[in-house]
Each structure stands twice: as C-alpha cells, then as structure tokens.
Amino acid sequence: MSDNSSLIDTIFDTLSPVHPDGHKFIAIGAAVALVFFLLYPPIGWIAAGVTAWIIYFFRDPARVTPLRPGLVISSADGKISSVERVIPPAELGMGPEERVRISTFLSVFDVHINRAPVAGRIVRSLYVPGAFLNAALDKASEENERRMLVIETAAHGEVGVVQIAGLVARRIVTFLDTGDAVGVGQRFGLIRFGSRVDVYLPPGKIALVSVGQRAVAGETVFADLLSTEPEREALRG
C-alpha cells in the first residue's frame, strides 16, 4: 500500500458520517453560501464557514458500547455537570423514592446524538413544553422544554433518561416511542444546538462518574447495577 493511500485512509477514518436530520440544514447553508458567492464573495465565505460548522454539529460517529449485563452507559457527549440524589420529576412516573441523577451538559461543539443508557423496552415517553433556561442550571430539569423516556430493563427495574432543551437548543428530536424495544447504546434522539441529558438510575444504585468528567455517549460507563463498589470520588488537578 502506498503512503498516499495510507494518508487518505487515515483522513477518511477520522471523518464522521452526518446524521440525516442535518441534511436539510446543510443544504440550506450551502444554498445560502452559493448565492452570496455569486453576489458578494466575502459573505459567501462566512456562509461556507457556517455550513462547515453545521456539518460538524450533526456528525454521528460510530461508538463501541460495553455490553456486560448491569452497565448503564452515558446517553450524551459532554461534561458531567451534576451527580446527585433527587426525587425524579412526577411526569416520569418513577415514584417518590430518591434516585441518583447524572446530568451531562452538551456544548454546541459536542456530538448531539443521544444513545440509550440500557437495553429494554420504553414504557413511558412524554414531551413537556417549557422554558429555554441555561441547561446547566439545576432548575432546568423541571422548567425547560424536555422529552422524557423511561426504559424498563429485564432485571434491574426502570432507568429514566431526559432530553432537556437549553438557551440555544430549540428542538428535541426522539426517534423512539412507548412500546419500542431499545438496545444499549442505540441512537434514540438528538437535541439541536446545545442542551443537557439527565439519566436516573434505579433506587439504591450509585454513579461511577464524577462532576467535571467528560462523557462519551454509548461508551462511558455511568453505573454498574451489579456492583457493590462504593461511590467514587474525584480529585481535580
């Protein structure tokens, strides 16, 4: 194999496919760029740059998901903004018992495809209209526009996952609905342009991640429902 072929293969290996939901936005951006290139090229270059960012935003990279029973996997790329014990929102229908909630904040530079934290069946799916506060705020879980899913696992009860809109995010997309089966790491939705995703563990289960840690959807292990390991602590350097 030639060096040129190896370089080309390496470049293509680093490129991520674009999710179909982004195609219409890319087409609009490209059309606007083309018009401005014909009318006023300096603006055309700006529009081309915006189009390139849209392509980057809607990237949908492949992920390697751990498949051992009992693992709860991150649903979103981004920084873990909180890990705390809370009573789930009443809309989730998960009862009044406290559960660990792991919140992941997505910036406009993170991959925005959301993946199922566990395998099972979706027993509840609910859209809740609301505000567009900063998704990093704790009250965003109760006041912002959001889409709630509850997944019933085969052996460990229910796990909740909530897509939350933010200051910039104005559109939540969910690919699955009540009654659908879902595999761990399977794509189930996306949030356009910055957001947050909350994962609610079964009662009595602890998180294996810490605030400030970077999470990768479909790969980072949030919890091990079969483990008796104590809750982890983190030291920021």
- pLDDT in 10s for each residue of the chain, 237 residues: 455 556 555 444 556 788 787 888 889 999 999 999 998 989 999 999 999 988 888 888 999 999 899 999 999 999 999 999 999 988 899 989 999 999 999 988 898 899 999 999 999 999 888 766 665 666 666 767 889 999 999 888 999 999 998 776 567 888 898 999 999 999 999 887 768 999 999 999 999 999 999 999 999 999 999 987 777 776 666
- Do the beta carbons of residue 153 and residue 33 sit within 8 Å? no
Catalytic residues: 195
Q: Is residue 53 domain-resident?
A: yes
Q: Is residue 108 domain-resident?
A: yes
Q: What is the DSSP letter of 218?
A: T
**Cα-based angle 112, 102, 21 (whole degrees, multiple of 5):** 15
Same domain as 97, residue 19:
no
**What's the rounded Cα separation, in Å, for the pair 118 and 85?**
20
Q: What is the DSSP letter of 202?
A: P
**What's the rounded Cα separation, in Å, for the pair 15 and 75?**
22
Q: Is residue 100 domain-resident?
A: yes
Same domain as 21, residue 120:
no
Closest CA to 58 of 36, 31, 79, 29: 29
Same domain as 190, residue 106:
yes
Place of tokens 């904040």: 105
Same domain as 101, residue 153:
yes
Same domain as 51, residue 83:
no
Q: Is residue 237 domain-resident?
A: no
Same domain as 211, residue 119:
yes
Containing domain of residue 35, as a range?
3-57
Same domain as 143, residue 41:
no
Domain count for the chain: 2
Helices then strands, each counted (H, E), the chain? 4, 13
pTM of the entire predicted model: 0.84
**What's the rounded Cα separation, in Å, for the pair 21 and 112?**
11
Closest CA to 105 of 196, 176, 14: 196
What is the CATH classification number for the domain harbouring 194? 2.70.70
Same domain as 117, residue 29:
no
Alpha helices in the chain (DSSP H): 3-14, 23-39, 41-57, 140-143
Q: Is residue 235 domain-resident?
A: no
Which of 57, 82, 100 corresponds to the end of one domain? Answer: 57
Q: Is residue 146 domain-resident?
A: yes
Closest CA to 149 of 209, 198, 110: 198
